[in-house]
Structure 1
Amino acid sequence: MEHVNTLKAALSAFCAALTALWGWFGWLVIAWISCMAIDYATGSCAALRAGKWSSQAARDGIWHKLGAVVAVIVAGILDMVISMILEHMPGISLPFTYEIFFCPLVIVWYILTETGSIIENAGALGADIPPWLTKAIESLREKVDDGAGAQEDTK
């Protein structure tokens, strides 16, 4: 029982540290990490249920998640570089205060991607999924793409 309390204390300290360091952004990161873990677990369960689980596919899933982490880190670096340029180059300014933009946008996009995958996995596990939920997640993801200036490929 002591180990459970130690784990709870460590998790609480971690969450508090993220909140102190990043505020709302820390909770966004926690939501994304939680979605990745739930997606991996439900995907593994769905594969087991279908009799298609393989260690290679599980490793590929982990590599896929690592790629997402790298993309978020790159977005964070981009935000830092833009902030430094705006702060230290006198001739460059924006009509608004720039703090962060790319990193939260990328994380929200990944959260929506993960939640869509979680819904698919839940369906593969036998849960009834309301069609409007799947459409809402996809619509939100498209709105994030539109807000980021993504263009549809018309070819």
Structure 2
Amino acid sequence: MEHVSGIKAAIVAAIGCLSALWGWFGWLVIIWICCMLLDYITGSAAALRAGEWSSKVARDGIWHKLGAIITVLVSIILDGVIGLILDNVPGLSLPIDYVVFLSVLTLVWYIFTELGSITENAGRLGAPIPSWLAKAIAALEASVDDAGDKLAPEEDEDKQT
């Protein structure tokens, strides 16, 4: 029982540290981590229910999550670099105070992706899923995609030749 209390204390301490260090951004990270864990658990449960669970697929899921973590870290680093450039290059500025943007967009996109996957897994577990819920998650994810696409619009194919 002491072991469980120690784990709970460590989790609460980690959450408290993230909140103190990052404020609302820390909560966004915590929500994303919880979504990743819930997706992995519900995906494994759905595969077990269907008799399709395999350690290879489970490992692939972990590798997939690791790739997402790396992508979020890259976006956090990029936000930091952009902030340093804006703070230290004379004459270069934005009409807003830049703190974080790309990492928030990336985290929110991953959260919506995980929520969509969790919803699909719940359906595979036999829970009825309201169609409007799946549509709302997809619409929110698409709106984040649109916001990100406006940052780096694709060139016309004719211009790339």
1:119 corresponds to which residue?
A: 119
Runs of 4+ in structure 1 displaced over 3 angstroms? Answer: none
Secondary structure of 1:128's match? coil
Distance 2:66 2:12 in 1: 25
2:140 corresponds to which residue?
A: 140
Q: Output one character per residue of 1:100-155: Cα deviation in whole Å (capped at 9) or x when no partner.
A: 00001101000000000000000000000000000000000011111222569x99
Alignment of 1:72-91 (within 5 A): 72-91=72-91
Distance 1:5 1:63 in 2: 30
Q: Output one character per residue of 1:32-80: Cα deviation in whole Å (capped at 9) or x when no partner.
A: 0000001001101111111111111011100000000010011001101
Secondary structure of 1:149's match? helix
Letter in 2 for 1:37: L
Distance 1:136 1:107 in 2: 18
Distance 1:6 1:73 in 2: 28
Question: Offset at 1:9?
Answer: 1.5
Distance 1:58 1:11 in 2: 24
Alignment of 1:49-128 (within 5 A): 49-128=49-128
**TM-score (ref. length: structure 1):** 0.95
Distance 2:57 2:10 in 1: 31
Question: Offset at 1:27?
Answer: 0.7
Distance 2:9 2:56 in 1: 35
Distance 1:30 1:111 in 2: 10
1:5 corresponds to which residue?
A: 5
- RMSD (Å), alpha carbons: 1.6
Alignment of 1:36-47 (within 5 A): 36-47=36-47
Letter in 2 for 1:56: K
Distance 1:127 1:86 in 2: 49
Paired-residue identity, % = 61
Question: Offset at 1:8?
Answer: 1.8
Letter in 2 for 1:12: V
Unmatched tracts of structure 1, length 5 or more:
none
Unmatched tracts of structure 2, length 5 or more:
none
Q: Across the two proteins, how many residue pairs are aligned to each other?
A: 154
Secondary structure of 2:149's match? coil
